[in-house]
Structure 1
Amino acid sequence: MFSFCLGFSVMAYFMGLLSFCLKRKHLLMMLLSMEFMVLGLFFNLYLYLSYYGFEFYFSMAFLTMSVCEGALGLGILVSLMRSHGNDYFQSFNVLW
């Protein structure tokens, strides 16, 4: 059972990575695929901590940081949508 769940979490991470590479035109899709990768990593972390009998304090810190990352990404997305009018990643001029 452990190997199945571990395989599922690794597959979820790589599916998020594949989605991140394929859907790089829209900023929202990039943020969603990064959140999917974070969920895969969290599930993997949870499996390892429960398998070895450790406490779950680090997983709570990991979730806190991932929520902060998601809120920051959503805030950047909203500000870019207001200033540029779309979420196409190539329409943002980063170098000016």
Structure 2
Amino acid sequence: MNMNLLFNMLMFLMSCFMFSYFYKNILLNLIMLEFMMINMFLNMYFTLINLQMNLFFISMFMSISVCESILGLSILVYLIRNSGNDYSMNMNLMLW
């Protein structure tokens, strides 16, 4: 069980590195954020199973992560309709 936790932590750190590496494209940033959420979900699942606690927190975490992904995709669609691409260098936050 300890190897699963270490592997998930390694995957989380790798997703954090990829999030900082692909900063130019917003779609890839959203994908890396979802990858981080999946890794956090697995870490939480293994921790709660080891502690023999209630898994109610996982359902709340999943509902919040789904809401976050829907919000990110809707902002991405809005950005693509207005500017034509999803590069972060073309985005001027002062005009929003």
TM-score by length of 2: 0.96
Deviations 1:28-56 (A, max 9, x none): 00000011011111100000000010010
* SS across alignment from 1:95: helix
Which amino acid in structure 2 is aligned with residue 25 of structure 1? K
* SS across alignment from 2:93: coil
% identity of equivalent residues:
35
Deviations 1:7-44 (A, max 9, x none): 11101111110010000000000000011011111100
5+ unaligned residues in a row in structure 2: which ranges?
none
Which amino acid in structure 1 is aligned with residue 7 of structure 2? F
Which amino acid in structure 1 is aligned with residue 79 of structure 2? L
TM-score by length of 1: 0.96
Aligned residues: 95
Distance 1:92 1:16 in 2: 24
Distance 2:60 2:84 in 1: 35
* SS across alignment from 2:94: coil
**How well do the aligned residues superpose, as a CA RMSD in angstroms?**
0.6
